[in-house]
Structure 1
């Protein structure tokens, strides 16, 4: 029996490896909320580690510093927005229908990701001190500007969109109109004594933005 036992194969228990992808994602998810709610200076890595249920050292293992973690949060926020935009098939629609979809999607992106508004506010107050260190953010917006330029070009050729419109300028105007509403939604609610967070009010605002842009660009 001893010989039989000695000759039996040894079954090793699998070693549990840390799921690095899930851990990193969890850190980013918690850090996004912390930076959005408290800003760069107010957010603390101790709090992020506690809420992510990890040792604080793991933050520095994945991101090396608080600033690098904050930069990763910003990059992921931009990547999230751009990835969703790239799934839209504007070329399959007529120019005006494509532009309506573009405007609606831009507005809806602020509804879906309210943390992005706070992150933008924080980074603009810092004059993009951290964002300018990114090697990828400046390339993320190019595809969406190109997509809008394509819509305008097709519309101009079809005679339904007036000529000479600059895609970048139009995009800045559109996002500015959307950003102002959501970044000031609480003060607007107080000043005008109306709950601007109600779904019906947001839908009304969405329809107005679409109507405003379409009247501005139609031939």
Structure 2
């Protein structure tokens, strides 16, 4: 039996995708999530999960970089994007960070079932439109750069953080542990770890101390 998470904040699409997959793939157990925090909780509470299909525009998810932090924590789960856009750049970004597939919402039920079967079988799936638009080769995850791009440490980078990431940063700066932050914000500890990693990455900070210094610098500048 395959265990799949369908994550989309539109209930109608979640139900439609559930019906399409259950009709096309035998012996499935499907979990639904309307926000990214629920996805993280399901990955922890319902392990092992074979596949998580995640909408890029759902609450709690600020972009594909957030998923970059999730993959190492769940090496036995395959991850796919489902999106209303068929942007070549978005598709290539998904592959470059190690995601296992990209599904476009305009695809037919049959195409989506084929995509999910391909991903569950251990292959990488991209829609045919990608190859139709360009003869340029697609870089698969195994060929992706091993180093993250360098980011300058800057107070200005605070503007990139989501509201939840700013809450996590504030508590990190006050010396709270991940467990204490999770308790304070009423989220899963695994979710806290992912937000904390995203905060450090966005700020270009090597550790919590550097992140705390940036926050204090920003606060002082704001007061002045």
Which band: TM-score by shorter chain? under 0.3
Higher strand share: 2
Higher RCO, Cα 8 Å, sep 6+: 1
Q: Could you tell me the TM-score, scaled by structure 1's length? A: 0.25
TM-score, structure 2 as length reference: 0.24
Q: Which has the larger radius of gyration?
A: 1
